[in-house]
Amino acid sequence: MIRDLAALPTHLRKRLAQALDSGRLVPPYSPVSLQSVLGSADEKILAALRELADMGIAGRAAANWLRALDAAMEPVGRPDLVWSGPEVEGVPARDTRRVYEELFSSARRSLWAVSYAYFDGPRVFDLLAKRMEAVPELRVTLLLNIDRGHLDTSSPDEVVRRFANRFWKKDWPGKVRPAVFYDPRSVDPDTPGVLHAKAVVADDKRVFVTSANFTGAALDHNIELGLLLRDRPLALSVAKHLQGLIDHKLLRALPTD
């Protein structure tokens, strides 16, 4: 019973606790009622809830039991699976676009966002730009790859200048600007290497590592896989590594003019 409930992604376990607390989900539990709360009628979860009810644990008591389970699991930093693409019935997982949106719209102090590619900047960065305007103390750092076209013979400085001009004039939708950095190797034809990582670190306590870029295809259509962890030491380690790349001049600041 505990194993089956612990296997639920954190956000679904919280949703289940809220439904039990509010009286939306009450014994005798049915597949239909569970479907309305979780989006699927998992037989193992149904059996676990019924077993709790048989022991006299229902309603608010069951909700508190689930919250206690969350509290007990929190130090472990159990990750949530995050997928893009077709859903698989009976396999609970989080949605890539929603995770990106949740992190962008909830960060309070700091946010690192890393992507190899992005399309439709005004749409992709809209939530983040609005969040920066709503929370002035929020520090946002974007690490983006600059793609040199295969037949482009322009100088590295010219490639960067064009990218910066397009980014600030067309792609970034807000008045408050983030700090933006790029890997200079990506624009130097004689130096192999690109910024290929895809990750978000929010408030130094949540870290999302994924195969999905900031593109509509990656967020909604491609089969992409990621892990979302609430693990402060790990989040701090990722942020520290990214800051180290900047401090050691391995990443350069995107021009703002």
Looking at residue 74, what is its pLDDT?
Answer: 59
Show the domains of the chain with their CATH numbers. Answer: 2-77 (no CATH), 94-253 (3.30.870.10)
In degrees, to the nearest 5, what angle opens at C-alpha 247 toward C-alphas 246 and 251?
25
Chunk the chain into consecutive blocks of 10 residues (it has 257) and report each block's average pLDDT, rounded to whole numbers. Answer: 76 90 92 89 88 92 89 68 87 88 96 96 96 97 93 93 97 97 95 95 95 94 95 88 96 95
Task: Quote the CA–CA distance of 157 and 138 in Å, as a whole number.
Answer: 30
DSSP notation for 98-163: HHHHHHHHH-SSEEEEEES-BS-HHHHTHHHHHHHHH-TT-EEEEEE--PPPTT----HHHHHHHH
Looking at residue 252, what is its pLDDT?
Answer: 98
Residue type, 142: L
Task: Quote the CA–CA distance of 42 and 92 in Å, as a whole number.
Answer: 9
Task: Quote the CA–CA distance of 52 and 60 in Å, as a whole number.
Answer: 12
Listed residue (143, 131, 213) closest to 180, CA to CA: 143
Listed residue (80, 88, 100) closest to 215, CA to CA: 100
Task: Quote the CA–CA distance of 70 and 78 in Å, as a whole number.
Answer: 10
Torsion over CA: 27, 48, 206, 226 (sign): negative
Is there a contact between 207 and 229 (Cβ–Cβ < 8 Å)?
yes
Looking at residue 231, what is its pLDDT?
Answer: 87
